Amino acid sequence: MNQVLPSSLLLKVITPRELLVETEVQEVALPGLDGYLGILPGHRPLLTALGEGKITYRKDGQEESFPIQGGYAEILPDKVLVFTESGQDETEQSTEG
């Protein structure tokens, strides 16, 4: 069994209003309901609920993150699709208004 693992993941974070992120990353950390999930290229397929917290990802040696308020993630060996109801901009608007 000689499987070639992908070297990166396509990360897409989608809200009902906009596509927040669509980029190739080396790793992703997601806020699961029971703690954070670390996702690397080649991860087994998984569908999981997300809790409140930060999505953190590493791209080109730089780490970036932003808050979410929950949602769902579909994890495949070469991509991570996150469906969330609110991202950073929407969260800031709700606390300001």
CATH topology of domain 1-65: ATP Synthase; domain 1 (2.60.15)
For the chain, domain boundaries: 1-65
Using one digit for the tens of pLDDT, what is the confidence trace for 63-86?
999 999 999 999 999 999 999 986
Tell me: pLDDT of 41 over 70.
yes
Tell me how far CA of residue 6 lies from CA of 3, 26, 47, 81, in angstroms: 10, 10, 19, 16
Q: How confident is the model at residue 89 (pLDDT cuts 50, 70, 90)?
A: low
Number of Cβ atoms within 10 Å of the Cβ of 11: 23
Q: 3-class DSSP state for residue 92?
A: helix
Mean pLDDT calculated for residue range 58-64: 93
Single pTM value for the model? 0.82
